[in-house]
Homo-oligomer: A and B are copies of this chain.
Amino acid sequence: MFDLIKGDLQELEKALVEAVTSSVDIITEIGTHLVAAGGKRLRPAAFLLAARCGKDFSLERAMPLAVALEMMHMASLVHDDVIDSADTRRGAATANAKWGNQISILAGDYLFARAFSLVADKGYSTRVDVELARLISDLASGELIQNKEIYNASCDVEEYYQRIAKKTANFIAIACELGGDVAELSEDYIKGLYDYGYNVGMAFQLTDDLLDLTSSTDTIGKPAGNDIRQGIVTLPTIRALEVSPDKDELHSIVTDRDMTDEMLQRALDIVRATDGLDYTQQQVHRFLEAAVKALPEEMPADIRENYEMLASFIGGRKY
């Protein structure tokens, strides 16, 4: 997808392996496993595109921050998989499945710290330190809000948006923003990049939440309705809890910690019978339009094209 930064992303893979190599064998072992498990590298890609908007792009200067962003994402996934007791991610065994919860918690802590240490002495601006710290505290507080509310069927749309902003959108926004910072762009330019990342991130998480309700084990590697099963209500379900004629039945299912497969299936049927999925899809498009609109006018055409492709990829994502 990212033809412009294909070479950068190849270098990133090497730098990631190097960054997780430690004198402590178990760290190298876990880190290498996580890097090899792959991923879209969406955050460093969003960062690198922004970094290339400036005059004197240097991959050497940008790389430590690109690596740090992906390591922070990896660390958060390691902790998420412990929290969700997930066995696989993208077809590979999770760290907790392979090494247990205890080692995985510590490995996640290590990766967070290693990310901070990678950028600590590279002469980046104060904004880098401030925003990376905010990124992690937002991630954690977004997940905390979500965890606190499980099986509560909290139907506050504003709270839902706040939660996914903290959990996902701010991260991508900050990746774009820091690319602009490294490229020494104007504050207006950086704000445009940030807004693009924020809106793309919101669309990305909404699509994730949609796919969780519409996909099957074949396409996303987990059965549909995983969120509902875990007591998490997302926008389509929140909508259904408002508009469905069966909203009382739906409410009693999504707040039941002893939900059976049949109950889950019934909940999915109720949600799918409403306009919840369409409504959510409309919001995805609204955010993607806002994202593309936020891109600064002065942005080089080839980079804009890549950012637009990223937006349409998210809009059409089926997995």
Contacts and interface: CB of A to CB of B under 8 A. Distances in A.
Given A79-B105, A102-B83, A147-B103, A136 B112 contact: yes
Given A83-B106, A147-B103, A116 B141 contact: no
A135 B109 CA distance: 11
Interface in A78-108: 79, 82-83, 101-103, 105-108
A36 to B, nearest CB: 19
Given A26-B144, A83-B105, A102-B83, A110 B129 contact: no
A136 B121 contact: no
A82 B109 contact: no
A37 B27 CA distance: 32
A217 interface: no
Interface string A109-144: 110111011001100001001101111110111011
Interface string A11-26: 0000000000010111
Q: Which of A82, A134, A135, A148 has the most CB of B within 10 A?
A: A148
A145 interface: yes
Contacts of A82: 105
Contacts of A102: 83, 147
Contacts of A137: 110, 113-114, 117
The number of times this chain is found in the oligomer is: 2
Contact of A109 (B26, B114, B129, B136): B136
Interface in A236-292: none
Nearest to A23: B141
Contact of A79 (B109, B116, B136): B109
A133 B115 CA distance: 8
Contact of A110 (B25, B117, B140): B140
A77 to B, nearest CB: 12
Nearest to A126: B121
Q: Which of A82, A101, A102 has the most CB of B within 10 A?
A: A102
10 contacts: A83-B105, A101-B101, A106-B144, A110-B140, A110-B144, A112-B113, A113-B133, A117-B130, A117-B133, A121-B130
